[in-house]
């Protein structure tokens, strides 16, 4: 009963205070008190508003970052696509330039018929007694290719057809020790034979001693022996070895063809080596 009486008394007190405040507020007598209360609460309200704005800004920033991240991923995907497309176009342009160079060579050498082929493999094999340096191309008997046909690029002589399959052929390079090319120096018109060397530049051997070989002079095919057409560029003289007690002098030749970067070649299809030339090739095996 005592606890109930206390609650009842507290209720009446609070009701009376509330009613009094309501009456005072309606008559305007609480205005000074409300002003004091607002002044006291203003710093807290300012801090609360500032925190609210910061929280709103953080949420907006998070949304913007998420949107920017999505846009960035899309742009990166577009950049990757454009980069790949640009690389493909560059490769096509490089290939077209090589093909244009081969076409110019054909136009400057209209005497021969050519068949263009792509290098599909480069094979260098070493054994106990031999060293083969060859490339494989995507032309064979089905394309009219036969053994012994010369192979060139716009930069010069590559080699000759060594083995032929229906759709592929093996080319013996002039850098192979088994290869021999009858050659002629451009300026002094001295003859010799270009012979490949394992792991080194080819040499022009059997050059007459009574002639002068100049450094930088170009060497071309002489046409002697009937294995190759005349006037195909082979390389350039970079070193001369001449000794009085030797019957011949010798020159080191740097080929004009870059054999490490061969991609396209031309096979001269209307040049027929003289009888006996293919047999020399067969001796390589």
The better pLDDT of the pair 254, 94 is held by: 254
pLDDT of 113-156, one tens digit each? 888 888 877 665 544 445 668 999 999 999 999 999 999 999 99
Do 251 and 239 form a contact (C-beta atoms < 8 A)?
yes
Residues 6+ apart with CB under 8 A from 68: none
Same-domain check for residues 262 and 182: yes
Number of domains making up the chain: 2
Same-domain check for residues 145 and 172: yes
Same-domain check for residues 145 and 266: yes
Same-domain check for residues 91 and 152: no
pLDDT score for 3? 53
pLDDT score for 48? 59
Average pLDDT estimate for 46-69: 75
> Can you tell me the distance from the alpha carbon of 74 to that of 182, in angstroms, rounded to the nearest whole number?
62
Of 11, 283, 10, 9, nearest to 148 (Cα)?
283
Above 70 in pLDDT, residue 20? Answer: no
> Can you tell me the distance from the alpha carbon of 176 to that of 222, in angstroms, rounded to the nearest whole number?
19
Same-domain check for residues 10 and 39: yes
Residues 6+ apart with CB under 8 A from 172: 132, 133, 134, 159, 160, 161, 162, 178, 179, 281, 284
Above 90 in pLDDT, residue 79? Answer: no
Same-domain check for residues 193 and 276: yes
Same-domain check for residues 93 and 145: no
Same-domain check for residues 178 and 227: yes
Indicate the pTM of the whole model. 0.66
Residue at a domain's end among 44, 73, 108 = 108
Same-domain check for residues 47 and 82: yes
Residue at a domain's end among 108, 134, 163 = 108
Same-domain check for residues 122 and 224: yes
Domain assignment of residue 75, given as a range? 1-108
Give the CATH number of the domain where residue 239 resides.
2.40.10.350
Residue at a domain's end among 108, 138, 160 = 108
Above 90 in pLDDT, residue 28? Answer: no
Same-domain check for residues 132 and 254: yes
pLDDT of 32-53, one tens digit each? 655 555 565 566 556 656 777 7
pLDDT score for 244? 83
pLDDT score for 281? 42
Same-domain check for residues 68 and 209: no
pLDDT of 196-255, one tens digit each? 998 899 999 999 999 999 999 999 999 999 999 999 999 999 999 998 888 999 999 999
Do 234 and 251 form a contact (C-beta atoms < 8 A)?
no
Query: Mind giving me the DSSP string for 140-167?
Result: -GGGT--TT-EEEETTEEEEEEEEE-SS
């Amino acid at each position: 009963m005592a606890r109930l009486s206390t609650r009842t008394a507290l209720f009446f007190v609070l009701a009376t205070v509330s009613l009094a405040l309501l009456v005072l507020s309606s008559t305007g007598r609480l205005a000074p008190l409300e002003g004091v209360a607002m002044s006291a609460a203003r710093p807290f309200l300012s801090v609360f508003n500032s925190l609210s704005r910061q929280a709103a800004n953080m949420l907006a920033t998070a949304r913007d970052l998420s949107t920017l991240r999505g846009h960035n991923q899309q742009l990166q995907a577009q950049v990757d696509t454009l980069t790949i497309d640009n690389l493909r176009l560059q490769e096509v342009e490089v290939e077209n330039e090589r093909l244009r160079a081969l076409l110019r060579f054909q136009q400057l050498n209209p005497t021969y018929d050519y068949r263009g082929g792509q290098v599909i493999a480069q094979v260098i094999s070493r054994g106990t007694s031999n060293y083969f340096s060859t490339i494989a191309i995507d032309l064979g008997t089905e394309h009219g290719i036969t053994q012994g046909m010369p192979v060139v690029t716009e930069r010069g002589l590559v080699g000759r057809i060594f083995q032929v399959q229906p759709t592929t052929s093996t080319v013996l390079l002039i850098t192979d020790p088994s290869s021999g090319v009858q050659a002629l120096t451009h300026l002094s018109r001295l003859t010799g034979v270009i012979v490949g060397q394992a792991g080194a530049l080819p040499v022009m051997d059997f050059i007459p001693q009574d002639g002068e070989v100049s450094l930088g002079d170009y060497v071309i095919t002489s046409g002697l022996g009937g294995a190759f057409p005349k006037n195909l560029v082979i390389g350039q003289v970079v070193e001369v070895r001449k000794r009085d007690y030797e019957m011949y002098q010798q020159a080191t030749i740097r080929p004009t063809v870059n054999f490490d970067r061969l991609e396209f070649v031309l096979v001269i299809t209307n040049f027929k080596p003289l009888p006996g030339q293919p047999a020399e090739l067969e001796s390589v095996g």
